[in-house]
Amino acid sequence: MDLTVPPQNVVDCFQIILGATASGDYNLFTTVGDASYKAGITKQMFESVSEQLAPRMETGYSIAYLGHLKQGDYQVYLWKLSFEDGGDEFVARMAMNGDEIAGILIT
């Protein structure tokens, strides 16, 4: 597996997550996840994160792929999320279960 470029399906899933977060669309956010992901991220949890990130995303943001890890049965993909407002950056950690997201953490 090439460390410099994630598989296209992973990029597509991450773009959906970012778009859903920016627009506050919980239904879209859950379309790319497996059953445990859908059960583990409540609408209230999603809204809390979306309310914090969406205003910053509106002013512009960029992502940089950092690499991936194998952890248990999952491939975990890491990105840096930077904002045009020059404020704090975040690391997004997305675990994949096949072609579906098993979990996402933005810290």
Instruction: Give residue-wise pLDDT tens across range 76-87.
Output: 999 999 999 999
8-106, what's its fold?
A: Nuclear Transport Factor 2; Chain: A, (3.10.450)
Name the 3-class secondary structure at 47.
Answer: helix
| Domain ranges across the chain | 8-106
- pLDDT by residue (tens digit) across 6-50? 999 999 999 999 999 999 999 999 999 999 999 999 999 999 999
What span, in angstroms and rounded, lies between the C-alpha atoms of 65 and 13?
Answer: 14
What is the tens place of the pLDDT at every residue in 47-78?
Answer: 999 999 999 999 999 999 999 999 999 999 99
